[in-house]
Amino acid sequence: MKFLVRLHMPTEHGNKLLQDPDFAKKLEGMLNQIKPEAVYFTPIEGERGIYMIVNLASADMMARTFEPVWQTLNCKLDATPVMELADLKKGLQK
């Protein structure tokens, strides 16, 4: 199942993260574990944000996938299930 994942980091915490000389390496390691289909960095509500498309085989993978994000980035995380056009067509035929 695909999810649109939205990460929102408070400014103060984001500033502290960026002062860590190993932050880029930690971020890359976290993304390598998650293996998102796409990652986009953008402001969200005036603060640092990330959008990802993540494919999870089952719901139990949410804890294993998202817990390292919370621990590494200490951010707000929203995960919304999404469909591709082929999924929508399949669902409408049933």
Tell me the two tokens of residue 11.
């400014």
For 2-93, CATH gives 3.30.70.260
pLDDT tens-digit series, residues 42-68: 999 999 999 999 999 988 899 989 998
Give which of 80, 68, 79, 1 is closest to 32, Cα–Cα: 68
pLDDT at residue 68, rounded to an integer: 86
Contact 6, 47 (CB under 8 A): no
pLDDT tens-digit series, residues 76-85: 999 999 999 9
